Amino acid sequence: MPQGPIQIVQNQVQNQIVSHAGLHTHAVSPTRKKVALGIAAIADLVQLGLFPFFSEGALSPPDDVLDVVVAIALFVTLGFKWRVLFALGIELVPGVALFPSWTAVVATLPTAEAPKKVKAEIVVQPAAPPAKLPETDTYSG
C-alpha cells in the first residue's frame, strides 16, 4: 500500500528522533527481555534458595560459576550491555547475592517497541465558489 506524503514525513521524523536519542542501540525487543528476565529470575532464585553456598560472593566457586554462566547467557540474549557487566561486578560482593540484582538489572533495560503506524487521511475539500458582490441597480460613485 503506497504511503501518502504525510505518512512519509511522519516516518522520517520518527526515525530521526529515534536515531538522535540512540534508542536503537540500547533498547531490546520485548521477547528478548522476557527471556532475559526468565534467566535472571532463575539465577536469583537459585542464589536465594541455596544461600549457604552463595553467601561468600567472590570467595564461593559455585557462586562465581553461576554468575559467569548467567552473565554469558544474558550477553547472548541481550547483546553486550554495560549494565550486565556492572551486575556481574555487584554479584561478586559477599552477601549481595541475597538481593535480586540480575532481575533488577534486566528489568530496568529499555524495551524497543515496534514503530506505530499512523493512519493519516488527506481530505480534499472542494473549493468554495468565488464570492459574488451584491447586485445593485445603480452606481453611486
Residue ranges of domains in the chain? 20-107
**pLDDT tens sequence across 71-87:** 999 999 998 888 899 99
Cβ proximity of 62 and 54 under 8 Å:
yes
Global pTM?
A: 0.60
**pLDDT tens sequence across 8-56:** 777 776 666 655 555 455 788 889 999 999 999 999 888 888 777 666 6
